[in-house]
Amino acid sequence: MTTPMAVYPPVQPHPYSATQLLTITAHPVPPAATVLTVHGEVDMLTSTQMADQLLPLVRDTVPHVIVDLTDVGFFGVAGLTVLVDAREPAATAGVTLCLVASTRPVLMPLAITGLDSVFHISSDLTDALVRAGCGPDG
pLDDT-wise least confident of 7-16, 41-50, 59-68, 82-91: 7-16
pLDDT the model gives residue 21: 84
Q: How far apart are CA 21 and CA 9, in angstroms?
A: 25
**Helices 77-93 and 104-113, packing angle to 10 deg:** 70
Q: How far apart are CA 94 and CA 5, in angstroms?
A: 58
Instruction: State mean pLDDT over 67-92.
Output: 96
Report the first-to-last Cα separation within the chain, whole angstroms: 79
Between β-strands 33-42 and 22-29, what pairing exists: parallel, antiparallel or unpaired?
Answer: antiparallel
pLDDT the model gives residue 59: 87
Q: How far apart are CA 109 and CA 138, in angstroms?
A: 32
**What dotted CATH number matches 20-131?**
3.30.750.24
CA 20 vs. chain centroid, Å, equals 16
Q: Percent of the chain, pLDDT > 70? A: 82
pLDDT tens per residue, range 7-40 = 666 655 555 555 568 999 999 998 889 999 999 9
pLDDT the model gives residue 31: 84
**Reduced 3-state DSSP string for 57-68:** HCCCCCCEEEEE
Which residues make beta-bridge pairs with 68?
37, 100
pLDDT tens per residue, range 82-104 = 999 999 999 999 999 999 999 99
Q: How far apart are CA 57 and CA 72, in angstroms?
A: 20
